[in-house]
C-alpha cells in the first residue's frame, strides 16, 4: 500500500529548524529573535525535533502500513510541547524517547526482512538515538545525550552510504574494518571523556572518514557532471568535516570553546553536509514526488554554508567571539535559505511540468 504524502509533518519539521536556528543565534549572543526556550532547547530541537523526525519519516516511508507514520509524528509533536509547555520538558523528552523506540521497531522489521550489514548498522543508529533520549529523559542534561546522538547520526549515515554503495566491489576485509571502527566508536561512547573515551571516538571518527573518502561511491559521483557532481563533492566535503571533528575530539579538549567545536564540526559540518548532498535523492522519496530539488544555483548556497561554517570554526579556535557570532549568523541564514531554495526549485519544476502536460494534452 502506497503511503500518502506526509505533508502534515513538514510544519513541525520547519518549526524545529526555525526555532533551533534562532536558539543557536541566542546562544552565540545575538538576541534579534529572543524566542523563550529556544536557546536552552537548541540541541533538542535540532537533533530530536529536526533530524530525528526527518530520519524517522524517511524510514517510515519505506514501510507498507501508514501506521508507521505515527513515529515521525510523535517525534515532531515533541517540538510544540517543548516550546509551548516550558514547565514540562520531561513530557517532550518522553515523546522523543517514545519516537526512538518506534524507530527501533521500524529498523528491526526492516533488518529482519533484509538481513544485510547496512540494515544492522542503521538499526544500531536507532538504538543509539534511543539511548541518547533515555539519557536526556533520565538526567535532563543535554551534554549527557550528545555522544549517543552523534552515534545515532553517524551510524545512520554510514549505513545509508553502505546501502548506496552495495554494488561497488568493496573488499570484504574493508567492510569488516569499518564494522570494527564502528564497534570501537560505540565502546568509546561508554568510556568517560577523561578516561580516553574522546580519544577513542575521535580516532575512530578520523578512520571512518578516511574509509568513506576511499571506498564510498561519492568518489565516483564527484567526477561526473551536474547533480551527481553536486552530491559527490558534497559528501566528500562532509567526510572531511568528520575528520576535523575527530581531530577536535582528540586534541582540543582543553580549548575554552571545545564543546562548541566538538558539537558543530559534527552536526553542522558533517550532518548538514550529508543533508545537502542527500536532499536530491531523499526528498522526492519522502515527499512522494517525481521532481528533484536540484538546480546549479544550489552551489551558491552550498559554498556560502561551507565558507561561513569554516569561518565560524576558525575564529572560535583563534578566540574572536564577535566574528564567531557574525559567521554563525550567516551560517544560520544560509541553512534556512538552502531549504527555501530547494522548496522553490521543486515548486517551479512542478509548475513547469504541469504546464507542459497541459500543453501536450491540448
pLDDT of residue 290: 80
pLDDT of residue 360: 67
Mean of the per-residue pLDDT values of the chain: 93
Nearest-CA neighbor of 302 among 362, 223, 232? 232
pLDDT of residue 1: 42
- Residue 309 reports pLDDT greater than 60: yes
In a domain, 267, yes or no: yes
Q: What is the pLDDT of residues 33-75, one digit of tens each?
A: 888 889 999 999 999 999 999 999 999 988 888 899 999 999 9
Say if residues 33 and 26 touch (Cβ distance below 8 Å).
yes
Per-residue pLDDT, averaged over 219-238, amounts to 95
In a domain, 169, yes or no: no
The pLDDT-based confidence of 361 (bands split at 50, 70, 90) is low
- Residue 195 reports pLDDT greater than 80: no
* pTM (global) more than 0.75: yes
First to last CA, the chain: 33
Q: How many domains does the chain have?
A: 1
Compute the radius of gyration of the chain from its Cα atoms: 20
In a domain, 250, yes or no: yes
| Share of residues in the chain with pLDDT > 70 (%) | 97
Sequence-distant (≥ 6) Cβ neighbours of residue 120 within 8 angstroms: 111, 159
In a domain, 318, yes or no: yes
3-state secondary structure of 291: coil
Cα distances (angstroms) measured from residue 265 to each of 25, 90, 142, 152, 359: 17, 28, 17, 16, 49
Greater model confidence, 139 or 192? 139
Greater model confidence, 253 or 243? 243
In a domain, 4, yes or no: no
Q: What residue numbers bound the domain in which 338 lies?
A: 216-347
Nearest-CA neighbor of 144 among 153, 152, 133? 133
In a domain, 74, yes or no: no
In a domain, 234, yes or no: yes
Per-residue pLDDT, averaged over 126-147, amounts to 96
pLDDT of residue 288: 72
Half-sphere exposure at residue 1, Cβ-oriented, CA atoms within 13 angstroms: 8
Nearest-CA neighbor of 13 among 302, 290, 286? 286
Nearest-CA neighbor of 126 among 162, 155, 91, 147? 155
Segment among 165-169, 312-316, 335-339 with least mean pLDDT: 165-169
pLDDT of residue 87: 72
In a domain, 55, yes or no: no
The pLDDT-based confidence of 148 (bands split at 50, 70, 90) is very high
- Residue 176 reports pLDDT greater than 90: yes
pLDDT of residue 356: 75
Q: What is the pLDDT of residues 314-335, one digit of tens each?
A: 999 999 999 999 999 999 999 9
Amino acid at each position: 500500500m502506497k503511503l500518502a504524502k506526509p505533508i502534515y509533518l513538514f510544519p513541525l519539521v520547519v518549526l524545529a529548524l526555525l526555532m533551533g536556528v534562532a536558539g543557536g543565534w541566542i546562544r552565540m549572543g545575538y538576541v534579534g529573535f529572543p524566542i523563550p526556550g529556544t536557546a536552552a532547547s537548541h540541541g533538542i530541537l535540532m537533533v530530536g525535533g529536526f533530524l530525528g523526525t526527518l530520519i524517522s519519516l524517511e524510514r517510515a516511508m519505506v514501510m507498507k502500513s501508514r501506521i508507521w507514520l505515527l513515529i515521525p509524528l510523535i517525534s515532531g509533536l515533541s517540538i510544540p510541547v517543548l516550546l509551548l509547555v516550558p514547565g514540562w520538558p520531561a513530557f517532550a523528552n518522553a515523546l522523543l524517547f517514545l519516537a526512538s523506540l518506534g524507530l527501533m521497531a521500524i529498523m528491526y522489521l526492516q533488518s529482519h526482512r533484509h538481513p544485510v550489514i547496512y540494515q544492522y548498522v542503521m538499526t544500531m543508529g536507532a538504538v543509539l538515538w534511543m539511548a541518547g533520549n533515555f539519557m536526556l529523559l533520565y538526567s535532563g542534561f543535554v551534554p549527557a545525550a550528545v555522544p549517543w546522538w552523534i552515534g545515532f547520526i553517524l551510524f545512520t549515515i554510514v549505513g545509508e552510504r553502505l546501502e548506496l554503495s552495495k554494488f561497488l566491489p568493496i573488499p570484504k576485509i574493508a567492510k569488516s574494518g569499518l564494522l570494527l571502527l564502528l564497534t570501537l566508536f560505540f565502546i568509546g561512547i561508554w568510556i568517560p571523556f577523561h578516561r580516553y573515551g574522546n580519544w577513542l571516538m575521535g580516532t575512530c571518527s578520523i578512520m571512518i572518514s578516511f574509509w568513506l573518502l576511499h571506498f564510498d561511491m561519492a568518489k565516483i559521483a564527484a567526477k561526473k557532471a551536474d547533480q551527481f557532481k553536486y552530491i559527490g563533492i558534497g559528501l566528500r566535503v562532509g567526510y572531511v568535516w568528520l575528520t576535523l571533528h575527530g581531530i577536535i575530539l582528540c586534541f582540543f579538549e582543553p580549548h575554552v570553546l571545545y564543546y562548541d567545536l566538538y558539537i558543530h564540526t559534527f552536526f553542522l559540518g558533517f550532518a548538514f553536509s550529508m543533508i545537502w548532498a542527500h536532499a536530491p535523492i531523499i526528498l522526492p522519496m519522502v515527499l512522494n514526488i517525481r521532481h528533484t530539488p536540484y538546480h546549479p544555483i544550489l552551489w551558491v548556497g552550498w559554498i556560502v554554508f561551507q565558507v561561513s561554517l569554516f569561518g565560524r570554526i576558525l575564529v572560535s579556535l583563534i578566540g574572536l567571539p564577535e566574528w564567531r557570532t557574525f559567521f554563525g549568523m550567516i551560517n544560520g541564514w544560509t541553512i534556512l535559505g538552502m531549504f527555501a531554495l530547494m522548496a522553490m526549485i521543486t515548486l517551479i519544476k512542478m509548475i513547469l511540468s504541469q504546464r507542459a502536460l497541459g500543453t501536450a494534452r491540448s
